[in-house]
Amino acid sequence: MDYHIDDAYGYIGDLGRIPKLEWLFDFLGKKGRIFQELFYNGYTEDLVSLKKALKGLSSDDGELNGAIAEFREMVSRCRIILVINDGCNDYHQFDKQDRGGFESSDQQCGLDIFDDFNYQDIRNAHPPEKPGVFVIKVRMGGIDECDISNDLMGEIDKIKWKTMHYAFSHRLDQIVHMSNCPIFYIGYAGTNSKSRQTLAGKYRELAYCHPTQYYVWALLKYNWKLDFGWKVCDNPKKYAAELKTKFVKHHGQMPLMVEREEG
């Protein structure tokens, strides 16, 4: 598995680079309830206790000590919440209110925290020139995700550029793991009400430099219908982190396409 750590603001680090990761998990699991709950639930909000438990923790084995140090360093960079993802984002905690699936026009996340957002077709949205939070949401599914990935990677292979192949394969692999929840990205524009970053600016970035652009382009090409939703607020970065925390508590993982985004 491609284990990695996220926090409420996005990607933190790659756990897969740590040798004998299962050995580390087993060792930590015997060192207290905070670790047991982390590995059982896949996330924790009690970062204070987790960081305190890791402080001074060591082993007689040098390799294990190195793994502990790497894990401690990643945890030190987490804020508000810590999530261990396995790289596939297959949501195990389906809620009965996450309904519709991608063959239905009735797309609904079980959480009501996105209900008061303004939604428009992502191809013709007109968000305001104001700071706020935004989401990308599936309104209607199109061609099967596996067929999208296979077809596009077949075209990319013809270019014979290994670096480009890696970049696209890493992103398109995520598409295969779409879940029942139609919300697959939560982001923010600006850090406060006076920020120069705006929702309109973030929307424009989807066309040329946003982390989700490859997913969005691919899904649109294969007849998926997507919405761009937004909500103007005074402290977008903090509010987006709160939304992600609630999302994780409900679904067990971050939205599919969330990556680290700096305000």
| pLDDT of 38 | 86
* Tens digits of residue pLDDT in 50-73: 999 998 888 888 899 999 999 999
* Tens digits of residue pLDDT in 221-231: 999 999 999 99
Gap between the Cα atoms of 7 and 17, Å rounded: 18
| pLDDT of 156 | 82
Boundaries of every domain in the chain = 4-85, 118-251
List, in order, residues 6 or more apart from 261 with CB less than 8 Å away.
9, 10, 187, 188, 211
| pLDDT of 8 | 67
| pLDDT of 176 | 62
Inter-residue contact 4 to 12 (CB < 8 Å): yes
Residues of the chain falling short of pLDDT 50: 1, 87-105, 260-263
Tokens representing residue 196 in the block: 């120069």
| pLDDT of 248 | 81
| pLDDT of 92 | 37
Contacts from 194-199 at CB under 8 Å and sequence distance 24+?
194/131, 195/131, 195/236, 195/263, 197/131, 197/263, 198/127, 198/128, 198/129, 198/130, 198/131, 198/132, 199/127, 199/128, 199/129, 199/130, 199/131, 199/132, 199/134, 199/230, 199/232
| pLDDT of 121 | 96
